[in-house]
Structure 1
Amino acid sequence: MRAQTVGTLEYTHPSFVDYFKGSVRLIHALTVVLPGFLLLAVLPLEPAQVGTFATFLLLFSILSILIFQTVGIYSEEIFSPLLRFRTTFLAWAAAFSVLIFMRQSLDISMFSDLHPEHLLFWFVASTLLFGAERLGMLALFRRLMDRGLFLQNAVILGGTDNGIRVAEYLKSNRDIRTGVIGFIDDRLERLPKNLADLPLLGNTQELERLIREEKVTQVLVALPWFADNRIGQLINELRKLPVNVLLVPDMVAFRHANKRITDVGGLPALIASDLPLRGWSPLFKRLEDIVLSSLALIVAAPVMLILAVAIKLDSPGPVLFRQKRYGYNNRLIEVFKFRSMYHAKADANANRQTTRDDDRITRVGRFIRKTSLDELPQLLNVFLGTMSMVGPRPHATATKAAGVLFEEAVAEYSSRHRVKPGITGWAQINGYRGETDTLEKIEKRIEFDLEYIERWSVWFDLNILFKTIPALLFNKDVY
């Protein structure tokens, strides 16, 4: 690695990238087989078998690296600040599956000494090593960036508002791949000496000199896109030089997009919004709901029977309370609950929110509301498919916060209906359940709901379900 000083940053030779990726491949190859070599010390192998096993480990390491390469472990994202644990785990699981297949199908005597506990040790040990190596790599990246060392020294071409936004974005999302050393603009006399805490390095003639001296390897063109002729002229000139030229999008678009790019008939486009559950996700979530609701209904059946009898004896009226609420895609669904109010005082549209010491609530109703046992019949909603175990809580049509309808109080309110409503949710375990007597409470509830939609996974659902009971026990705002 050789470096030349450029302001406060340094320039890394491009071949460093290839050397680094090669080093990572070597480390991964050693990580794949290290537990296998440790097993040599405990397996009762004959001397001839030791040599055969060592040869097998070498071949297995090469095969694993090829699988890693196919999965994309060594793509440019290796330099990103992402943990990438999931991608690495899946790649290693695929490689290890090949080992299991070879053990089961090949008639090699040494494989008979590899017992399941040995294979488990091998898989877990390598998995932990991969995780430790990634954390070490990220720590190395942070240290290099603190020293001002980046893979590419970049300049922003255009001291425009968009150029300043690009600089601020890259500063707050620091990445070892790009270090911005300053701005280039031909309007030197009209611009300040510093923009976004970065120096104005000069005009396009100065840029050519910096590129020729190998002090700049990347140019981020941030001119207004309506300046088509000027952009075309600059790109034609820069194509004659050994430099990477990137057209950066209008950063205003990024405020309305989730930073992912798709292809529409060959046209790259920023995704502003898409379906929250894509691919196999809806199927996995539906299977999760069917399995969990079925098990819950079986376990809760005795309790539900006792509660039904208690409600019937406590006050006249039906055991179940049916209420129209907003569900998926803003459609009205019928939600089941155990009746907790006197039948004559029922409020089907929730025009009046329940408050402390509400005279409409029965004796049994006060208990089941406090413990949330009144929600148990919603397991039937989940089983029938109108609700989910986890999701934004469904609200009645006339529910208000501080006298304002929810959909009028929060502009993003309807966005929560992009998924099925749930019995419990991310907002509820974070303390936002019960009465919404202020606009802040409904705003925070919607904020958590939308965060859940963006972060959804089966593991996230299970985490929320696990934390629901403690959240119910310690919440004091339900009556």
Structure 2
Amino acid sequence: MTGWTHGLLNRLVILCDVAMMLVAALVYYAVWHILGWTQMVVLGVIGGAIYCTVLLLGQAYRVEHYGRVRRQIVHVIIGLLPALLAVFVVYYALVPPQPGDPEAFGPWAALTLVALLFGRLVLVRAGMAWIDRRKLLVRNTVLIGDLDRAYALIRRYQEDMPAGGLISFVGVFRDGGRQPTNAEKAGDGVPPALGGIEDLLELAKAGIFDLVIVTKNWSDMRGIGVIARQLHRVATDVMVEMEPDVLSAASARVTRIADSPTLQIQQRPLKGSLGVLKALEDYTVAGIGLLVMSPVLLLAALAIKLDSPGPVLFRQARVGLNRREFMVYKLRTMHYDPGDDGSIGAVRADPRITRVGAILRSLSIDEIPQLINVLRGEMSVVGPRPHVPNMMINEQLRYEAVSDYVARYRMKPGITGWAQINGMRGGIYTEEKAARGVELDLYYIENWSIWFDIRIILLTMTKGLADTTAF
């Protein structure tokens, strides 16, 4: 999965348009000096806002438009005319008229037109060519359900898009119905049949597809629901192929693929620009955090070595995005035991916890090395906490005991999270408390924003340090 989406590309084109308008304003100021620096920047921003608003309302920021020269020119002119008019009106509303003012706008308008056309016909087209060469907008797709329906959909798509289009079929998975033929198993001229739902979930760990299409009969809503629930643990978009004319393709969340309407029932969190924003947050906070906390880490490491034998750092397998396992880093807070797999969580007054470890755990200092996991791309600063693969609750595996537990795997795990600042630190030994934690984690996933993360980080730094439930 590349992280590129149509929405991200559209935002980059908007950014290019605004940048070109500002460049035109600054060049005009540097050459003519008729209007002041501040005036040109303000007018450039106002013009850019009006221009982009007009094109957004006219749905001109769409990927299918960027490769068409004539359409690009028309869109630039349509957006620029009201932008110039608005700038002219605002200018005369704020500044007393001066002799020669009307002539001053002519060169600026011409420069702006040239800059916008350069941005669209040179920069955007070059960017689109670069994206096409690397197939960054191609969606790697798997299908699950009835094999006949799946391969029929693939054939129709290949007939409609002989050059490949924006979908690449990775494989087909069976859910009931006939067995695959030998040719289908071998992928002879068609995407290979790769097994059933468990095989699909296993393949998801590799992160090589970002769209699942369910191809079961529309009347089998129970079967579709079973598959949908199992796919909750996978960070992908999920669509269901519908019968023709069941719903209009213009309806919300309904898209046509090879003239078959598909209904989107699940969306991958943090797609496109949201994912870029989350990554910037993670790398910035983790980098600064490690730098600022390095003296604390050095003192903690010295205290651990003096307190008990064993390594300073503790490495343990945890389950992350799409159920992929990774090794988490923490400061060691327990007596060294190579045989401890972590399936039994810590309890209050746990004899395994060292004297220094108790202090580190109460202040959450033992979690600081997980900033390394963030920089490695395995974790986020904020997200659902990662658990060991075989964590137990009442002698049951946690993912079996708690409904929707696996849906937490749709986002990278975090050092802190919405659940942790709402009392889910310390031991979780009951199904009720575990279910409450999952509820809070899913609320975070479904309502993510950069401001939500900032709020959680600030609460962790204040409320979290004084949390008496931690041990």
TM-score by length of 1: 0.48
Q: With CA pairs under 8 Å and 6+ residues apart, which has the higher RCO, 1 or 2?
A: 2
If you compute each CA radius of gyration, which structure gives the higher value, 1 or 2? Answer: 1
TM-score scaled to structure 2, two decimals? Answer: 0.49
